[in-house]
């Protein structure tokens, strides 16, 4: 009797609802392959049990490490010494694969029949209308990331210096009102563009390093530059999106953060993000934290559910009032999906400082690090229902941002950085040597 026949006969051991889950996995070899590759099985294990409910009581699907279905174990049947993939792990992998499939399908749709690549309107939106970036826009950026990665990094580098100049100028003087208004609107739009760009660029360290002639040698400089931009930006969404990108990048960023930290509290925030996303790195990361138990506490399912409830309760009232036609299908705060609750919370334009990290940002990490970047943004229809900020709102946002930065700068100690060598990477993040960039003209 073949393994497959034996497996299908043993489906009678599990409840009807779980039969459908077992069959869906049976019919999806790509999903099973992804589940097994992410499970990090011991070399001695030839089989693995995949839990369909409780990780101890089951029921379980038993498969070989090559992906052949062996049998089903009903609830209460023992797995003995088989390694177990939990239902939570199965759901997380399925969610990631679904996102990937959506992106592949999206890429196929926009390239067939000679259709003009839709990355161009999205790129124009990033540059000129970033306050209205939607979930669909970020998903499209993710689809075209292999093509657009150099453009996105170049945008970050080119905008960092002008933005610093604007911050300095308007923190000190009022200037011409019309000119001030234009600059502040442009400044606000660059700030709104940071979140999707930084998250996507940081999500793949290997591809990020390929942007530079020096390759992996320049990666720490590029990563520190992107994290610094995401940290200087006080927009709540940008900081959460930066944490999302750092978490997705994973292990290569641990040593970069530990050896060249921006600010201790900020470093710990991003290390916590990596630890929550990568269970195998938690022990190493916990040693670098002031409170080594905080990471474990934040990573529990109980804390996850508590923070989800906080997000749901925080946004429900304004959501139900501002977009009743979208809120009606959910009926109550506790029915609001996790990704939508977090996107609504991040869509407020709220600012945060380093002092707020533990209170305002830590609670979002358990949700934010497990979602794809596009889930930090509202769907297009809902964004249109809310209405995008007008120029007056953008100016007000920029004013608050500059003032908050000015206040923070007064509190921070002055740190003198050593001047880089002429042949060392320029700290501005351009990817060029110092002598050919900011050090041009230095003797």
Q: Could you read off the pLDDT of 136-145 as tens digits, one per residue? A: 899 888 888 8
Alpha helices in 85-144 (DSSP H): 87-111, 119-128, 135-143
Give the integer Cα–Cα distance in Å for 293 and 281. Answer: 14
Which of 91-105, 111-125, 358-372, 425-439: highest mean pLDDT? 358-372
Which residue, chain included where needed, has tokens 């001047």? 419
pLDDT at 46 over 80: yes
Whether pTM > 0.75 for this model: the answer is no
**pLDDT reported for residue 106:** 56
Of 174-178, 193-197, 274-278, 305-309, minimum mean pLDDT range? 174-178
Mean residue pLDDT across the chain: 78
Q: Could you read off the pLDDT of 190-236 as tens digits, one per residue? A: 888 899 999 999 999 988 888 876 667 888 888 888 988 887 777 88
Return the ∠ at Cα 95 (arms to 93 and 100), rounded to 5°. 95
**pLDDT reported for residue 121:** 77
pLDDT band at 2 (very low <50, low <70, confident <90, very high): low
Better pLDDT: 102 or 281 = 281
pLDDT band at 409 (very low <50, low <70, confident <90, very high): low
Of 49-63, 163-177, 183-197, minimum mean pLDDT range? 163-177
**pLDDT reported for residue 165:** 59
Summarize the confidence of residues 5-25 as an average pLDDT. 77
Name which of 333, 295, 305 is nearest 317 in CA terms: 333
Taking each helix axis from N to C terminus, what angle separates 177-202 and 236-249, rounded to the nearest 10 degrees? 20
* 200: Cβ contacts below 8 Å, ≥ 6 apart: 138, 141, 142, 145, 149, 152, 245, 373
Report the share of the chain in percent with pLDDT over 70.
79
**pLDDT reported for residue 416:** 46
- Where residue 337 falls (left for φ over 0; alpha for ψ -120 to 50; beta otherwise) is beta
Summarize the confidence of residues 19-26 as an average pLDDT. 81
Summarize the confidence of residues 352-375 as an average pLDDT. 77
Summarize the confidence of residues 394-406 as an average pLDDT. 77
**pLDDT reported for residue 22:** 82
How big is the chain by its Cα radius of gyration, in Å? Answer: 24
Name which of 318, 306, 439 is nearest 366 in CA terms: 306
**pLDDT reported for residue 171:** 47
**pLDDT reported for residue 200:** 94
Give the integer Cα–Cα distance in Å for 260 and 143. Answer: 32
């Amino acid at each position: 009797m073949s393994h497959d026949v034996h497996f299908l006969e043993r489906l009678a051991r599990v409840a009807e609802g779980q039969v459908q889950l077992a069959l869906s996995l049976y019919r999806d070899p790509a999903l099973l392959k992804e589940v097994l590759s992410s499970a990090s099985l011991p070399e001695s294990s030839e089989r693995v049990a995949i839990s369909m409910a409780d990780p101890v009581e089951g029921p379980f699907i038993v498969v070989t490490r090559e992906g052949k279905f062996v049998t089903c174990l009903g609830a209460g049947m023992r797995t003995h010494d088989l390694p177990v993939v939990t239902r939570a792990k199965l759901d997380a992998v399925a969610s990631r694969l679904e996102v990937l499939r959506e992106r592949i399908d999206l890429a196929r749709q926009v390239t067939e029949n000679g259709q003009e690549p839709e990355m161009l309107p999205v790129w124009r939106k990033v540059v000129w209308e970033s306050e209205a970036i939607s979930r669909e826009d970020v998903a499209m950026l993710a689809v075209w990331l292999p093509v657009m990665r150099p453009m996105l990094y170049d945008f970050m580098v080119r905008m960092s210096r002008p933005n610093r100049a604007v911050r300095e100028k308007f923190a000190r003087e009022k200037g011409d009102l019309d000119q001030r208004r234009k600059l502040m609107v442009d400044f606000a739009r660059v700030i709104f563009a940071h979140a999707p760009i930084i998250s996507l660029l940081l999500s793949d360290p290997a591809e990020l390093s390929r942007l530079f002639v020096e390759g992996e040698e320049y990666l720490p400089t590029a990563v520190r530059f992107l994290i610094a931009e995401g940290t200087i930006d006080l927009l709540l969404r940008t900081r959460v999106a930066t944490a999302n990108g750092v978490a997705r990048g994973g292990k290569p960023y641990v040593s970069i953060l530990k050896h060249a930290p921006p600010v201790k509290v900020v470093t710990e925030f991003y290390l916590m993000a990596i630890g929550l996303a990568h269970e195998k790195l938690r022990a190493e990361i916990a040693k670098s934290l002031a409170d080594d138990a905080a990471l474990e506490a934040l990573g529990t399912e109980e804390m996850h559910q508590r923070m989800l409830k906080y997000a749901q309760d925080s946004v429900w009232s304004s959501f139900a009032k501002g977009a009743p036609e979208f809120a009606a299908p959910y009926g109550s705060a506790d029915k609001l999906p996790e990704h939508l609750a977090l996107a609504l919370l991040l869509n407020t334009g709220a600012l945060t400082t380093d002092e707020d990290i533990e209170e305002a940002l830590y609670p979002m990490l358990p949700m934010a690090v497990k979602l794809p970047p596009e889930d930090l943004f509202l769907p297009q229809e809902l964004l249109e229902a809310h209405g995008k900020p007008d120029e007056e709102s953008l100016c007000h946002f920029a004013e608050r941002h500059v003032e908050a930065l000015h206040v923070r700068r007064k509190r921070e100690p002055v740190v003198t950085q050593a001047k880089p060598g002429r042949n060392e990477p320029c700290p501005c993040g351009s990817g060029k040597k110092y002598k050919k960039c900011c050090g041009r003209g230095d003797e």
